[in-house]
Amino acid sequence: MSLLGSLSLWLALLVGLWGAITGFVGGAQQRPDLQQSARNATFALFGALLVAVISLELAIFRHDFSLQYVAGRTSRNLPTFYLWSALYSGQEGSLLFWAAVLSLFGALTQLFTSRRHRAYLPYVAAITSLVATFFVSVMLFAPANPFQHAAFTPLDGSGMNPQLQNPGMVFHPPMLYLGYISITIPFAFAMAALLTKKLDADWLVAVRKWTIVSWLFLSIGLLIGMWWAYVELGWGGYWAWDPVENAALLPWLVMTAFLHSVMVQEKRGMLKKWNLALVLGAWLLSIFGTFLTRSGVIASVHSFTQSPVGWFFLGFLLVAVVACAIVYINRLPLLEAEANLESVVSREASFLFNNLLLIGLAFSVLWGTLYPIISEWVQGVKVTYGPPTFNYVNIPLGLVLLLLTGIGPLIAWRRASTANLRRQFAVPVTVGVFALLILLLAGVRELGGLLAFSIGAFVFGTVFQEFARGARARHRQYGESTGFAVLQLLSRNRRRYGGYIVHIAIVLLFVGFAGMAFKTETEATLRPGESAQLKGSDGHLYTFTHLGISQYNALNRQVTAALLDVRRDGKDIGRLRTEKRQHVDALGNPTFEPSTEVGIMSGLRVDLYVVLAGLVNGTEQAVFRFTINPLVWWVWFGGFVLVIGGLIVLWPGGVVVAVKGSKGSTVQAGYAVKLEAER
């Protein structure tokens, strides 16, 4: 299997290089034979990498510990569920997974891109092949070859890191990778548009679905990662501003900016330069993030950081930045706007400010991530730019962004009159102020929480108003019931109303984030029968009674479990269980340090979060940490709503209004109507 896998990687390298060369030359010289060869190369590349992936998975499932990768990340008693995820649980496997998925996306693009956009495809094939080839070359030359043989074959492998043995870790990396990887497709189309000089709205139409796919996968990846950190790591939160987390957030912010500004180009023919820069920037940031997280230049708890492959990514990034800059600057004269901005108080301007904040936030996150290095360079002093600093700098920016989430949809395209603004803002502002007053009357004095909740209420008001007006208009016009009219709105204009659902999700997420400002926690040592009490921010008193310790063996671990009885204001509400796990290999030898399984009782108002610290003198007397985290449930629900909103936007179909593009081509334009004649 290892031989087949290695051969497949070498074959992929050659085929990828061939695809890149024939794609670029075939595109430049307009040679159909080379173009067809480049297209075929994308399929062959996918085939070769698929064989490599299957070879590695087979080696993992057969416990072929002659391979370093398999011996270092699995053991004979590892549950089957995690044997699958062992494919991407380490550096080498994740690079293979990345290259294989990219080649799949490259092949799908060649298969499913409509005939109208055929002119871009040779360059798209060239760029996807080139990027995938780079990943293959990192595996072969870095070296990070998953088929590398070990010096000797152990009886059993070292096993998988216990923190990765969680369902969240089975789905988080592939989702995040899918998001990262799929950014390459919009990037490839953007570069193809620049190289072919076909810079009208056509390339945007070709990449629209891909950008949403990429954004959606990144969102899901980030959310599952947050969930995993919360339920597995045991520190009581879900976002610690770790460099690896930040690296995933950066392209997400830039893609979010693009998804907004692209509407301005589609409807008004403006921001062409900006949109291209955003797509190129998002992809470059994804490579930069990969460099950051795999080079070890910045300390991170993630295991990928200690390896030399990061420097390959730095080299690749520098070459890519130079290539992008040359092509982009060369084509700037072709990227003039087709229309002028008519008023500063317009939807177009509000989108620009929204973009400014999103990019500003991305810069802020990048700045904070790199600040320890910058400080060492500039002042020769190592500093820590920890979560308190990130929160201090970014929470105000996030709140302004949340406010703009509400303001944007209220302002009309082209020009908003005073009467229009009054009509649009009256209800949402009233809702926001009303929420603020209720919170003040309820005794809430925490500024961040007050702002987050009241601005959230304002944004919720804007979305509710949009749905209400749309439904009322349909009711008047077609006599539809309110519920059916809302469904029709969602069904017929998916981008717009799906987008509003996403805005609701953002509000829910902010509500959940704000809740963490009110968390309470304590530590206690309890014998069986003893209790600890903690008051939550919901005003209830929670009593945790230690019932006892049990020890038993499971498939690949020895478990020490503590059971606690939980009461709210004296009323029994259930039991919590928290564990210490000592993972062992098939021979019964310990494989890692003992790990903790958190006990969580999740509710709409608060989460009860208990960690078993350990035992005193080997007895059932145990040390616990109790935390009451308010509103965390709303983060996960917000994430769920965000995915639903994203899927509505993504779902094919709906009713579109077509207008002529700049050169006679037809483009989808939503509600866009060209009104030159009105002047």
Element spanning 561, H or E: strand 557-568
Rule CB under 8 A: which of 1-30 touch other proteins?
none
Question: What phi, psi does 295 have (nearest 5°)?
Answer: -100, -25
Of 313-321, 438-446, 616-624, 640-648, which segment contacts other proteins by CB under 8 A?
616-624
Task: Say how far apart CA 212 and CA 645 lie, in whole Å.
Answer: 11
Element spanning 522, H or E: strand 520-526
Shortest Å distance, C-beta 169 to other proteins:
16
Of 94-102, 110-118, 319-327, 614-622, which segment contacts other proteins by CB under 8 A?
614-622
Task: Say how far apart CA 48 and CA 145 lie, in whole Å.
Answer: 15
For the chain, the distance separating the N- and C-terminal CA atoms, rounded to the nearest angstrom, is 70
Task: Say how far apart CA 350 and CA 401 lie, in whole Å.
Answer: 11
Shortest Å distance, C-beta 558 to other proteins:
4
Please tell me whether residue 594 binds other proteins under the rule CB under 8 A: yes
Please tell me whether residue 668 binds other proteins under the rule CB under 8 A: no
Of 22-30, 60-68, 287-295, 613-621, which segment contacts other proteins by CB under 8 A?
613-621
Q: Which of 221, 207, 208, 274 is nearest to 251 (CA)?
A: 221
Shortest Å distance, C-beta 236 to other proteins:
7
Furthest CA-CA distance within the chain = 86
CB atoms within 10 A of CB 369: 24
Please tell me whether residue 518 binds other proteins under the rule CB under 8 A: no
Shortest Å distance, C-beta 66 to other proteins:
32
Rule CB under 8 A: which of 393-432 touch other proteins?
393-394, 396-397, 409, 412
Q: Which of 360, 352, 631, 651 is nearest to 507 (CA)?
A: 631
Task: Say how far apart CA 190 and CA 120 lie, in whole Å.
Answer: 9
Task: Say how far apart CA 230 and CA 221 lie, in whole Å.
Answer: 14
CA dihedral 234, 238, 239, 242 (to 10 degrees): 40
Please tell me whether residue 387 binds other proteins under the rule CB under 8 A: yes
466: burial class by Cβ within 10 Å (0-12, 13-18, 19+)?
Answer: buried
Spell out the residues 6+ positions from residue 551 whose beta carbon is closer than 8 angstroms to its own.
Answer: 558, 559, 560, 561
Shortest Å distance, C-beta 476 to other proteins:
9
Interior CA angle at 125 toward 124 and 126, to 5°? 90
Please tell me whether residue 588 binds other proteins under the rule CB under 8 A: no
Shortest Å distance, C-beta 22 to other proteins:
42
Please tell me whether residue 384 binds other proteins under the rule CB under 8 A: yes
Please tell me whether residue 657 binds other proteins under the rule CB under 8 A: no
Shortest Å distance, C-beta 330 to other proteins:
23
Rule CB under 8 A: which of 39-98 touch other proteins?
none
Shortest Å distance, C-beta 410 to other proteins:
8
Number of residues that bind other proteins (CB under 8 A): 91
Shortest Å distance, C-beta 266 to other proteins:
16
Rule CB under 8 A: which of 476-495 touch other proteins?
477
Q: Which is nearer to other proteins, 315 or 386 (CB)?
A: 386
Q: Which is nearer to other proteins, 383 or 658 (CB)?
A: 383
Rule CB under 8 A: which of 443-482 touch other proteins?
466, 469-470, 473, 477
Rule CB under 8 A: which of 292-351 touch other proteins?
299-301, 340-344, 349
Please tell me whether residue 524 binds other proteins under the rule CB under 8 A: yes
Q: Which two tokens stand for residue 240?
A: 């610690």
Q: Which is nearer to other proteins, 33 or 676 (CB)?
A: 676
Of 8-16, 105-113, 131-139, 668-676, which segment contacts other proteins by CB under 8 A?
668-676
According to DSSP, the residues that pair with 389 across neighbouring strands are: none
Q: Which of 456, 604, 452, 237 is nearest to 444 (CA)?
A: 452
Q: Which two tokens stand for residue 328?
A: 């982009």
Contact 661, 535 (CB under 8 A): no
Please tell me whether residue 375 binds other proteins under the rule CB under 8 A: yes
Shortest Å distance, C-beta 45 to other proteins:
38
Please tell me whether residue 158 binds other proteins under the rule CB under 8 A: no
Shortest Å distance, C-beta 569 to other proteins:
22
Rule CB under 8 A: which of 226-245 touch other proteins?
233-236, 240, 242
With CB under 8 A as the contact rule, the residue among 10, 367, 478, 651 that binds other proteins is 367
Task: Say how far apart CA 351 and CA 405 lie, in whole Å.
Answer: 9
One-letter amino acid of 13: L
Task: Say how far apart CA 599 and CA 577 lie, in whole Å.
Answer: 5
Spell out the residues 6+ positions from residue 407 whose beta carbon is closer than 8 angstroms to its own.
Answer: 350, 462
Q: Which of 399, 438, 429, 456 is nearest to 634 (CA)?
A: 456
Rule CB under 8 A: which of 546-565 touch other proteins?
549, 551, 558-560
Shortest Å distance, C-beta 105 to other proteins:
33
Q: Which is nearer to other proteins, 115 or 382 (CB)?
A: 382
With CB under 8 A as the contact rule, the residue among 475, 528, 601, 605 that binds other proteins is 528
